[in-house]
Amino acid sequence: LAYGAKRALGLIVTVFVAAHFSGRYAEYLLAGVMGDYLGATICVTEVYLLFLIVLMPHFEIHKSFVYEIASVGNAFMHGNVRLENVITELSNDEKKTTLFRFVMVGLLTTLWCSFVGHPPVFVRKTVAQNGETDEVQIALSKDNDTCEEKRGNKQEIISLLDILIDPKKDFKNRYDAVL
């Protein structure tokens, strides 16, 4: 409450929103929240909150800057301003140039990631569900018959699971069973 009730409420809502979306993503991706993921979520949320705290005293200045950017973008979209004028305005204002560079880095990074490396997890899961590839299907399949061909027989898998879930087995027994 050191920043006032209105600002404190905004920060609290920000934490809840970040926790909610992070939890949903972790549940989808990892089938639960893991320790490292939780730690990363805490760090990212803290950086975001500190960023908001730094912005708070200058909110009105930043608010007018955002409105100015939006009005230029709106005028350009409606054909009232030519592209040359927008580029000139961007190059003359240091804040706008910095924002433009930041947005371009984000867009180009997203574009680069879409063409390089493995497809996103969401795409891999869809491919596995459609049965379009065996490699992905084994990694994400819940069907034991598909896994049996690549990993060994079904009886070995069941006996391993029995050892792993038995509450009477200690860590050494479980470790030896996996190896």
Q: Quick count: other Cβ atoms within 10 Å of Cβ 99?
A: 15
Tens-place pLDDT, residues 118-173: 655 555 555 555 655 554 333 444 444 444 454 556 677 777 777 777 778 777 77
Q: Report pTM.
A: 0.45
Q: What is the mean pLDDT of residues 56-70?
A: 81
Tens-place pLDDT, residues 31-54: 777 888 888 889 999 998 998 888
Contact of 3 with 53, CB cutoff 8 Å: yes
